[in-house]
Amino acid sequence: MEELCDTPRSAPVISRTRGFTGAVWDIDSDVIDLGDDERVTRDYVRHTGAVAVMAMNERREVYLVKQYRHAVRAECWEPPAGLLDMPGEDPLEAARRELWEEADLTASQWDLLIDAYTSPGGSTEAIRIFLARDLVEVPEAERFSREAEEAQMEGAWVPLDELMAAVLEGRVHGPTTVIGAFSLSEALRSDGATLRPAQSDWNRPPARDAQNSETA
């Protein structure tokens, strides 16, 4: 058996219709050629991609923020995270920014925990989750001024064991939180063997800022 690995492939796009253009993402409908005269239509969200940060202190506590997510009608506990909505932005620098903005923290040690597609059947969203350690609180005068919905976010340090229990008992549901918790738990169990360099290559699907790259 060959190495277990997702294989990049882009089926020819016969036509594309933009059904919706939004502030954050768009919805496209593609007619694609699967070969052998098989043509199908696929609707999907064209997303910018995102990063998230599992910030862990020396007590093995993880910093989480509680944010209202209207689509699921719930306030969800999640790691600091943000969109890659600036063309060409380096994912690690975006993660540093989000940690500063949402958690009032900086970190001197960064590792890559995991890459994931959040919903590959209907979205181009890929997320890269980092592990941040050697944390320092940002001085009050240098903190980011959170506005709108971010101003209402609640933050808390949560022991990793308690986070894992909440995930397994179905009390927290966000994919970033679930994937981040499991990957961090495995990284600690393996004494860091599963960690990768923070600037590792990333096979991201076409993002929103590359929306014309596949048109026929």
Distance CA(31)–CA(8), nearest Å, equals 19
Choose the catalytic residue: 93, 150, 154, 162. Answer: 150
- Pair 78, 154: CB distance under 8 Å: no
**162: annotated active-site residue:** no
Residues whose CB falls within 8 Å of the CB of residue 68, separated by 6 or more in sequence, listed in order: 74, 75, 76, 149, 152
- Pair 214, 206: CB distance under 8 Å: yes
Residues whose CB falls within 8 Å of the CB of residue 56, separated by 6 or more in sequence, listed in order: 62, 63, 131, 132, 133, 135, 160, 184
Distance CA(79)–CA(63), nearest Å, equals 7
- Residues with a catalytic annotation lie at 150
